[in-house]
Structure 1
């Protein structure tokens, strides 16, 4: 998928470069300049995919990351498993509302610019973390560029003149990082427009996935069986695949007998502490901080009765 995506991006760059040359020949330098920018974007996207670490995410793990992403406080470059990545989902993420970017412009043969405003399912995310290049981002430590991809068959017509049969990029998000991802956070889109919270949701999902897959307390990583062939008798080299397994069930971690509450009083019951994010001290003198997920656990002395804080109204006939 990654190789086909890179080839298609380079082919689209060649096609657009030819259109830009014809635009200059008829005196449309303004159109040619816009096409040149698109050419650079396509070439950059191809290079990013070629350099990307590859991740395949199952449906349950995508839902787990989406659940954990609801209260991610920030996105940090240090948490990324690689500077370039392509994350493909076995099941699509919720559809992306294209009206915020004025929809998509599809193609019908030689006729381009056909408007399309329906939501588009997200089948993959690619990212690239680079040094700031835009003057507006000069104070940032880094910049992350995220492209949203969908499968071509989800669109009624092609989006690009040359597009990969597996994935097609349709939206790009650019954000200086580190960045806070609270409700008041903002994300700067390529056109310089401050976007809505759905862009923040994409960044939060990436941050949650990065941390959850690398947390030793939550996941284990092991090499997969090295498979050969495609089932049709052909032979190829062994697949280099590492499988990340998240714990199959929530952990029930009990604090020592006689535990005390933050107020200093002795606890006489146990209660569930909801999973949450924390800034874990580490490094020399524990002076550094990294984002850490703390799973649900039981707080209180061993053997004490469990109390609940939520009341549920069961409404039935």
Structure 2
């Protein structure tokens, strides 16, 4: 159960100087508002009447709380339970905490439970037992006109949380951060931070310890792919019409790898890693975390990069030989489309150098700098002018066109006397800098997901 510890909007009773921290006897399930997806405060008066209240916000709510268990709400809108920051990073555990609010004519109890969502700054303050700094941060960020009474109540609650804080923390994977672009040249460092996160002490509800260790090992031994913006758009478009497709290891560009798209592709997912084994293909999807628009404090950004990195895992899937991926599978469908487009030679992977600072860091530790492969759309025609059969030149095409795949009979063997059917993959015809004809970009997977004729 996780609740914002600031005031709710209900005017009575207000917290006064008589605020007590007690032990919660009957902990209740975490509740969220169905309308705004915010986590709700739980309040009950001395007669036992239960109420759910919106946490304090800078602007008022235009609806009453509509409480449902948070597990039933897709995309819960969490906030930091200490300062109301929109992007909490960790969940902290404490002893059970209640706040008793005593008014002149009435009293009530706010049940805050034992778990607390915290932004990176409040996480560091709480773990350093700096409860007064937590209070000052909350008062400042909320912008209360008269913080005296508010600070008194929040100070007592913060002291109760910090005083009963339990060791460790859990990474929150259900917070929808705005996408933060990651460059291809930074990918080796991004992978190193991700590997450190997976093998580190922070808990994750999404992955068990053994799974995390196996994923980290596959990351370290896998290839790095960065997909440019044009190829990302193509994969997203192709995934919309992706037919039911069963993937196998032959469809992968490498047995293990990490792939980064130029933009978020579905549900905020911007990257995925995979590892092939006897059970199938393990796929982990990631969101970017900590964009400059979401964290204004440079110190907080640095702490986030050092302690978490750039990517957080948000989904874990095992793709077996019997499971078909369809367009309804979101980021998995885009992943499958990306793989198939690469396998069909629609794309080409060219090597790019990591950032100079990253290369220097690898040199200092006597490690070879990993190769990053930038995936982009392949074009058959790169010249600006072409010669016609009559020897005359003609102007280049205004757009690139998809040339659909086809079968051809190819001679082979001694004296090239034998014939075999060879499938010619789809390709783009036209100048590299010309736009792609949109009407032809979504049909290639459905028409080409087939195997060569048996010989």
TM-score (norm 1): 0.49
Higher CA-based Rg = 2
